[in-house]
Amino acid sequence: MQDFTADQIRSKITELNQRDIAYAQKYGMRYESFIQNLEDIEFVEKIEAEISKIWEIDLIEWEFCHERAQDWIKVLSAKSESVRSDDAWQASITRTAGSLAHDPIVREAQGEYEVREELL
């Protein structure tokens, strides 16, 4: 049962990271950078002119994906902490963490994709 739970959490993290990455690629930067750049009116005008006039709608879903992925990662970590005595569960968490560390989707979410310098 614990393997199933870990697999479901890992699946949700991957799904949310894929959506996060899609927005990062669309806007040419990570979520955190996008949020910081919103303070610059010229940046916002460029986004509206070159990418999307409805970027605020994208931002709502992007924020959801980004924040929920982080929440699920915390849940996965908490589960591994709370059941350290169960070897099968621990092995599952180790596999999950290892596969996430090598997963290209997770690596992209951690910043390994092209950044659009012209928007910065």
Q: What is the pLDDT of residue 55?
A: 96
CB 4 within 8 A of CB 92: no
Q: Which of 6, 102, 26, 23 is nearest to 67 (CA)?
A: 23
CB 24 within 8 A of CB 91: no
pLDDT in tens, 8-55: 999 999 999 999 999 999 999 999 999 999 999 999 999 999 999 999
**What is the four-CA torsion angle of 83, 88, 89, 92, rounded to 10 degrees?**
150
In 3-state terms, what secondary structure has residue 40?
Answer: coil
pTM equals 0.66
Reported as half-sphere exposure (CB side, CA atoms, 13 A), residue 112 has a value of 10
